[in-house]
Amino acid sequence: EPDRAAGPLRQRVRRRVAGRVLLVGDAAGYVDALTGEGLGLAFAAARLLAGSVAADRPGDYEEQWRRT
pLDDT tens digit sequence for 22-33: 887 777 776 655
The pLDDT, as a whole number, for residue 21 is 86
pTM of the model: 0.60
Count Cβ atoms below 10 Å from residue 47 Cβ, excluding itself.
12
Average pLDDT over residues 9-31: 76
Q: Place 50 in a pLDDT band, splitting at 50, 70 and 90.
A: very high
Q: Which of 38, 33, 67 is nearest to 52 (CA)?
A: 67
C-alpha distance from residue 29 to each of 1, 16, 61, 62, 66 (Å): 33, 9, 14, 13, 12
Q: What is the DSSP code (8-state) at residue 67?
A: H
The pLDDT, as a whole number, for residue 55 is 94
Whether the ω angle into residue 58 lies within 30 degrees of 0, i.e. cis, is: no
Average pLDDT over residues 29-48: 73
Average pLDDT over residues 10-30: 77
